[in-house]
Structure formats: C-alpha cells, structure tokens
Structure 1
Amino acid sequence: MKALRIHGHGDPSVLRLDDLPDPEPAPGQVLVRVLGVSINHLDLWVRRGMPGFKVEFPRILGCDGTGEVVAVGEGVTAFHPGQKVVLEPGYSSGRSEFDLEGLDHLAEDYAIRGEHGDGFDRELVAIEQRYLCPLPDGLDPVRAAAVPLAFLTAWGMIERAQLERGETVLVIAGSSGVGSAAIQIASHLGARVLATAGSDAKRQLALDLGAESVIDHHDPDWPREVKRLTDGDGADVVVEHVGPATWSGSMRSLARLGRLVTCGGTTGAKVEITLPHLFIKNQTILGSTMGPASALPQIFDRVARGIYQPVLDAAVPMSEARAAHERLESGGVVGKIVLLPGS
C-alpha cells in the first residue's frame, strides 16, 4: 500500500509517498480501506516541527477520515466487510475515569492520530473496532472525511464555554474547518453568531452557515465593529483558534463576564494578556482540546439530517499532498481539503 510519510521536519517537500506492506487485522481489529483523509493544521505543525514535541520518524500523517471495511479480525461483530465507517482521530487506553465517563479526550494518555502515532494518510489501516463508528447511509464518505476532527474540536470548545441559548458567540476565522463547525453548532444551540473572515468568499460562507454578521479581521478596527453589533457589550463567548494574529482583537471583543475558549493558535503559540482588563471585567480564558468521541454519532446524525454541513474546499489525490499543504499554509483554503488515497 501507499502511505504519506515524513522522515524529518521541513516544508511540504519532505512529504513522501512510501510503499509499505498491506496490514492484516489482529483479533479485535478491523481492516479499513481509507476513502478520504482531511488535512488539518495539526498536519502542518507535525510536518514543520513543534517546540518541545518530539516526533518519531518516519511518521504517517492524517488525523481523521472515512473508509470502507475490507475484513475483520477475530472477535469483531460490530462491523462487516463493505460497511462505510468513520475513522476517529483520538485514542487512549480506555481505562481511565474519563474514558469510562465517555470523556476520552480528557484522559491523561489521550493522543491524536498523525501526531502522537501514525495516522490515516494511507490506503489501508488495521484499527481497533472501538475507534470506528458507522457512517450513516447516504453520506458521501469524501465530504464526511471533513467532519471528525473539526467538528469534535468545535463541539468540545462550545461545551467548554458552556454556551447558552440566546447568548452571543464570536467565531474567529469562521470559514476554517473548526470555525465553520463552530458556527453551525452554536447556531443550532440557539445562540446569536457573529464571525470573522478574511475575504468576501469566506465571509459569504460564514453567512451561509448561520452567522448573523461577518467581519473582516484584516481591518485593524474589527473589534470595534463587534462592539457596535452588540450595542457596546461585546460577545459572551469568543471561539479563538488563530492565536497571535487575532488574540488582542478577540480579547477586546469579549464582554464583561465573557468566556474566551481556545484550542490552539495557527499563527503561533505565544500571546499577551492585559491583566486589568481580564480581572476588572471578570472574564475567563478556557483551554480546550478536541472533544469526546462519544459525540461523533450525534454529530454525524445531524450531518445526515442536513443540520450540519461539512465544508469541502477540494478533494485531491494523495499524490498531490505537497500542493495541498502549500495551499493550506497560504491561507487560501475555504473549509477543508480531503486527500484521496489510492489516487
């Protein structure tokens, strides 16, 4: 089989399509032919290298995707050959208190495919059945490959912020994978959704997904527009995942008693906080990593019913992964790029 691997850190030129032996399913495992794998910013960080995080090489990238069952190992009864499935991005021992409560993403040993271990940028994968969930009938597996990591991350952020019906939420970079998912999740909860985006096409997408108003975050005065739209109050919740490029504006847009929730920073790891603004306004900054795998069936049920819409920028052969990484790094992607193994 072909697999997309890196043998060292660097620019997209370090991506290599390697020939590997076809895997065989062990007892309790399912052999899946991968039909689509989304590219996430996490793939870029792993490829480039992250300070303080050691990657064992070679590493197969790819955090999440969809596939079709080819064969099942001994003891597997939940899946059968020909069945379409979702490949879950996270994994853990399954034995912690959080695992048993259905909150696997909070377990100390929680890890993400393609980051802490080999991922799904490959033609075949043998995987424990507990890391699969059925793909609802009728869903296009390529479009569905854009869902798992982005929607789980946004789901976890909205839950972490305890967003309530009627509150105002500001979603930064609303046309991104996480941003587009957050708009839809918050809108379905009954919140008033504002968003930011950097181009006319991206702003229109955010509006189409349910945002009431969308602001150009390249305008240095964009936080003032958030205040104008909220009668001077600001947003009750800010969904922030860009980091240094938008952080100051996000904090300026946050209401008194507001909650800013962040899952990372695509523009860097360090930000500044003006402490008097934080404590005088009784604001809260929350960290969030992924979301519980137990939410995936509910997420995909809503996708199947048309409540959530995966945003697919492009589906490209895995052989074109270098160009796809370059596009995502350039900021020109609207939604998600999905790689197609076997092409």
Structure 2
Amino acid sequence: MLPETMTVIEAAESGGPEVLALATRPVPTPGAGEVLIAVKAAGINRPDVLQRQGLYPPPKGASDLLGLEVAGTVVARGEAATRFKEGDAVCALVNGGGYAEFAVAPEATTLPLPQGLSFTEAASLPETVFTVWHNLFERGGLMPGEWLLVHGGASGIGTTAIQMASALGARVLATVGSEAKVKDCGALGAVRAINYHEEDFVEIVREVTQGHGADVILDMVGGDYIERNLRAAALEGRIVQIAFLTGSKVEIDLMRLMMRRLTLTGSTLRAQTPEVKARMAKAIEQRIWPLIAEGRLKPVIDSSFNLRDAIGAHRRIDDLDHIGKIVLVVGSSRP
C-alpha cells in the first residue's frame, strides 16, 4: 500500500540554496504511459540551480519541484505502461519532481538500472547522458577518430562526455580549472587536459592536434569562449552550446565561421518533445548502457547528501571545485 503523502524539497521563492525547504505533498498518480518510482536517489544538475534562481521555469504541465533524474523502484504504472513491472529497479529522465520520495516518469524515458551500479550512481546518469548523447553524437555528429574539446571537463557533463567520447573512439581534450582536475580528466581518458588558468586552450588545441583543431567543441561556459571556440575549431568543425556560465551575449566575428565552414548550434534537453526524448532513450540503451556493463563508462560522483540536506547539496554544486555529480539520497543506495 502506497502512502498518501511524501516528503519533498520545495523552492518557494527564488534565490540561493537557503530557499530550499522540506515540505509534504500528495504522492502523485502516474498517467497514461507513465510509471511511479519510489525514489532512492536523485541527481542534481545545473538546470536545477537555474530553476532555484528563478531563471529556468518548468515547462507547462511539469512538476514545479526540482529534479530532472532519479533512480529507484517502480511501484505503480499508468495505463499503457507495460515495459516495467512493480519492483523493477530503474533510472529515469523526468521533467521535474525528482527531489521527492516518489516521482512520476514517462516510461519511454525510463531505463533499466545499469548492471553493477548503485541507485546513487544510476541517479547521476539520465540528465547527463541524454544531454551528452544528443549534443555530441546527434547534433555534433562526433565520429571515431575525431578530436573533441570539452569545456568544463570536471563537471558532471564533462566527466561523462570524456568517457563516452573516448569509449566510442574519439580523441578528447578538456579544459579545467586546477591541476587536480587535469589529472582526473586524464584518468578518465582525455588525451590532454588544459588548465585554463595557466594555458590558452586555443594554442594547446592547435598544438596537440598538429594544427587540425577540434572537430567538435562542447561548450557550457560561453562568454569569451564563444569567439575563441571559432579559432580552436577544425575546418568543418561543429560547436555545440549547452550553457552559459559566463554569459550568452557576446560580440564575435562570423567571418571565421564562414571561411572555415563551421557549424554553431545548441540545445536544451527539457524542452525536447516526448517523442524526441524517447528516441534518445532507445539509442542510449543500445549504445551507452553496454559501455557501463563493460566498465568503460562509470559515473563520477563528487558527493552525496540526504534529501533533507538539499541545501548542503546545492551549496556544493555552487562550489566550482566539485568534480563529477552531486546526488541526493532518499533511501538505500543498493538495489
């Protein structure tokens, strides 16, 4: 028997981590094509921070609660949800509502818990892996043998991108902010990690690739990196923008884009249609889940916090010294 109410984390107003507060809400009911998950862990992502700050409102019809990825067990199913049964261990991409004891997820973006992973590890995957897959391999068209430059290499997105791209045959460069992060990214498979406090990434990319440049650039920094990306890119290079930590409004000379036949693109995941997300989920299960089973891709967890300490978890993600993902733990970490 499911309880009638559950503990959640609300952001009743916009601001810093201190606006997050415990609250009680009714346990949601799964609709058609949805499953209800008893959440064991929920990943924390940069969009959660933006929503907390009032800069990234949830789409129409989505939960107002933070949390875009969860792991746990299926406890109820809506009409036409037939793939999973009650008790199955899963992780899921959700449109919101992850910071809670129960969360509703579309069955189409719910995946089996990867072999060998805990709930805490699995909760760090969906938002990050969907983002990396779509932007590197679908939008960026990254191919084996090509050079990839990842900005923010020690972030959750960065550590995942390095591993996925390396495992699928690309050669990876990454920018980071400390020597400790240089070593960490090297251990994950980066051919070269670049400390942006001490080195010019444009020069290093040109040097390491022997003048070729980066075929694909994944950028979540923005600001003056946008113009510098044009200089670091290879002929016919693809630059994919997924965030703007230092600003989205800049002045650039597009002549370089024209002369080098570059593609500048970008996307957000949350706004994608259910059909597009379902297509991504199928590709990820076929191409990425086997890499996890083989030990070629492993979540990098910086730290975990109890659901009741969501404030502490958000303070940690606001600290740029973190490496990998930060996760809220709701129940037992093992399936």
The one of 273, 277, 284 equivalent to 1:296 is: 284
Deviation at 1:58, TM superposition (A): 8.5
Q: TM-score, normalized by length of structure 2?
A: 0.86
| Aligned residue number for residue 306 of structure 2 | 317
Say whether residues 1:133 and 2:111 are aligned partners: yes
Q: Percent identity?
A: 39
The one of 24, 30, 44 equivalent to 2:35 is: 30
Q: Is the 8 A contact 1:30 1:72 kept in 2?
A: yes
Say whether residues 1:14 and 2:2 are aligned partners: no
Say whether residues 1:238 and 2:217 are aligned partners: yes
Q: Is the 8 A contact 1:135 1:300 kept in 2?
A: no
Query: Judging changes above 3 Å, is the alpha-carbon distance between structure 1 residues 274 and 228 closer, same or farther for their aligned structure 2 residues?
Result: same
Written as runs of structure 1 = structure 2, the 5 A alignment for 1:45-64 is: 45-50=50-55, 59-64=64-69
Query: Judging changes above 3 Å, is the alpha-carbon distance between structure 1 residues 26 and 179 closer, same or farther for their aligned structure 2 residues?
Result: closer
The one of 248, 258, 267 equivalent to 1:269 is: 248
Could you list the per-position Cα deviations for residues 89-122 of structure 1 after superposition, in whole angstroms to 9, with x for gaps in the alignment? 3xxxxxxxxxxxxxxxxxxxxxxx23xxxx2110
Query: Judging changes above 3 Å, is the alpha-carbon distance between structure 1 residues 196 and 27 closer, same or farther for their aligned structure 2 residues?
Result: closer
Query: Judging changes above 3 Å, is the alpha-carbon distance between structure 1 residues 29 and 273 closer, same or farther for their aligned structure 2 residues?
Result: same
Say whether residues 1:151 and 2:129 are aligned partners: yes
Deviation at 1:326, TM superposition (A): 1.7
Deviation at 1:55, TM superposition (A): 7.6
| Aligned residue number for residue 221 of structure 1 | 200
Query: Judging changes above 3 Å, is the alpha-carbon distance between structure 1 residues 258 and 128 closer, same or farther for their aligned structure 2 residues?
Result: closer
What is the root-mean-square deviation of aligned Cα atoms in Å?
A: 2.4
Query: Judging changes above 3 Å, is the alpha-carbon distance between structure 1 residues 130 and 254 closer, same or farther for their aligned structure 2 residues?
Result: closer
Matched AA of 1:80: K
Q: Is the 8 A contact 1:35 1:66 kept in 2?
A: yes
Structure 2 residue matching 1:20: 3-state secondary structure: strand
Structure 2 residue matching 1:243: 3-state secondary structure: coil
Deviation at 1:267, TM superposition (A): 2.8
Q: Is the 8 A contact 2:215 2:238 kept in 1?
A: yes
The one of 281, 291, 307 equivalent to 2:296 is: 307
How many Å separate the matches in 2 of 1:251 and 1:45? 27
| Aligned residue number for residue 159 of structure 2 | 180
Could you list the per-position Cα deviations for residues 122-154 of structure 1 after superposition, in whole angstroms to 9, with x for gaps in the alignment? 001244433422213432111111111111111
Could you list the per-position Cα deviations for residues 226-266 of structure 1 after superposition, in whole angstroms to 9, with x for gaps in the alignment? 21112233212111112115333323211232211112223
| Aligned residue number for residue 105 of structure 1 | none
How many Å separate the matches in 1 of 2:63 and 2:134? 30
How many Å separate the matches in 2 of 1:326 and 1:201? 21
Q: Is the 8 A contact 1:195 1:213 kept in 2?
A: yes
| Aligned residue number for residue 106 of structure 1 | none
Query: Judging changes above 3 Å, is the alpha-carbon distance between structure 1 residues 341 and 270 closer, same or farther for their aligned structure 2 residues?
Result: farther
Say whether residues 1:200 and 2:179 are aligned partners: yes
Matched AA of 2:118: D
How many Å separate the matches in 2 of 1:273 and 1:84? 48
Deviates more, 1:76-85 or 1:311-320: 76-85
Q: TM-score, normalized by length of structure 1?
A: 0.84
Q: Is the 8 A contact 2:181 2:323 kept in 1?
A: yes
Count of matched residue positions in the alignment of Structure 1 and Structure 2? 315
Q: Is the 8 A contact 1:65 1:87 kept in 2?
A: yes
Matched AA of 2:281: A
| Aligned residue number for residue 87 of structure 1 | 92
Written as runs of structure 1 = structure 2, the 5 A alignment for 1:160-179 is: 160-179=139-158
Deviates more, 1:313-322 or 1:215-224: 215-224
Deviation at 1:337, TM superposition (A): 0.2
